[in-house]
Structure 1
Amino acid sequence: MSSCTDKRRAEDLTVEWVRRLVIGEGLCPFASPVFSRMHTEVYSGNDANEATSAFMDLLQKVAEADPDELPTALFVTPRLFSDFDAYWNWFLVCDNLLVQLGYEGRLQLATFHPHYVFEGEEEDDLSHYTNRSPYPMLHIIREDDIEEALASVRYPERIPERNRQHMRRLGRAGLLAKMPELADTPVFESEEPEK
């Protein structure tokens, strides 16, 4: 399979994951209004420095764009950061760059990974699946969009717990029923990948 085909598959699967699970299961209140204008960028290389540079370019592009034209973006790395700890360290670097570039208060990052683990939860707790995406990715969000969406949500502080409970009710079988394609992704691998 060519790298172009791999890249297209990663993009298509990511967009479907957002459509069917993030929006379809009501996990994120501000995803639906911006979905049709969401930009998905796939970095298909395996060089962490290159990926960081490409991410910074996308961050700047979102920051400078008209919010109506480019409200949000996903940066997907299918061939990098398969280990969650390595991914988290990379996220911290990217978050620091966001601050250094002066975008704090305007943009923020949300984190998603096939092996996402919330601190304080059992490793096999199904609540982790609220943030388990087909590939490692960072989501660039405009803070104004978050505030606007949360203003129309009753008890926004309850969203994380509601989502965790929903994942526990769905279970692995329920998730696969909603999106069978996840069976062939790292989300449902039985063991953590090597670093």
Structure 2
Amino acid sequence: MDQQILDDINQWLDEVVIGLDLCPFAARPRREKRVRIAISHATDEETLLNDLQAELERLSDTPAETLETTLLAISDMLENFEDYNDFLDAVDLWVEQFGWEGELQVASFHPQYQFADTEPDDAGNLTNRSPWPLLHIIREESLEKAIEHHPDVDGIPERNIARMEALTDGDRKRLFPYLFG
């Protein structure tokens, strides 16, 4: 099961996130093998928060030259997007309470991801639809440096939505097989 989760996430990273250039900051750390994929087999929120804490500590304690970012895959809970979205409040509180604010932040990806004020089948939701529920731990300092050097950070979301809208049905089925199973 773990190998399937890793394969799914690697495919998504390489073909969707990097392949479609959804995140212009992802290719270099990926190429340099500085992206960690961890899997949590937690079945309750407390255990999942403990797994998140361990990954926050690992990232904080490891130089960016060695480890840039971590994706924590959630294999055994939060399949429902509403439950996952509710859990993100606990994640934000956890980051704040343990003093990670300003150092690390957590971005969210989910197979059923839906932005506020969108319909479930809006193409823009695909930008955050991953094969498994994920918590993406990001170094704020690295993000700030990347943003400084990007010519149009504000245009990224609009450009990404346009990319998703331009995908053919065949492209969507190939890139997001977990949505069409």
TM-score clears 0.5: yes
TM score, norm. by length of structure 1? 0.86
Identity %: 31
Which of structure 1's runs of 4+ aligned residues deviate more than 6 A?
none
Which of 184, 188, 192 matches 2:180? Answer: 188
C-alpha separation between the residues in 1 aligned to 2:168 and 2:113?
16
Q: Which residue of 2 aligns with 1:78?
A: 75
Residue among 68, 79, 83 paired with 2:65: 68
Match of 1:124 among 118, 121, 125: 121
Cα contact 2:173–2:180 (8 A) shared by 1: no
Structure 1: gaps (5+ residues): 1-5, 190-195
Q: Give the whole-Å Cα distance in 2 for the aligned partners of 1:107 and 1:98.
A: 8
- SS of residue in 1 equivalent to 2:70: strand
The answer to whether 1:10 aligns with 2:2 is no
CA RMSD of aligned residues (A): 1.4
Q: Residue by residue, what CA displacement relative to the aligned partner does 1:67-125 show, whole Å, maximum 9, x if unpaired? A: 11111000001221011110011121012111111111111111000000011122221
Secondary structure of 1:46's aligned partner: coil
- Aligned 1:139-154 pairs, distance under 5 A: 139-154=136-151
The letter for the 1-side match of 2:131 is P
TM-score normalised according to structure 2 size: 0.93
SS class of match (2:126): helix
User: Paired residue for 1:105?
Assistant: 102
SS at match of 1:138: strand
CA distance in 2, matches of 1:89, 1:68: 33
Among 7, 21, 28, the residue aligned to 1:26: 21
Letter in 2 for 1:25: L
Q: State whether residues 112 and 137 of structure 1, in contact with CA within 8 Å, keep that contact through their aligned partners in structure 2.
A: yes
- Give the number of equivalent residue pairs: 179
Shift of 1:151: 2.1
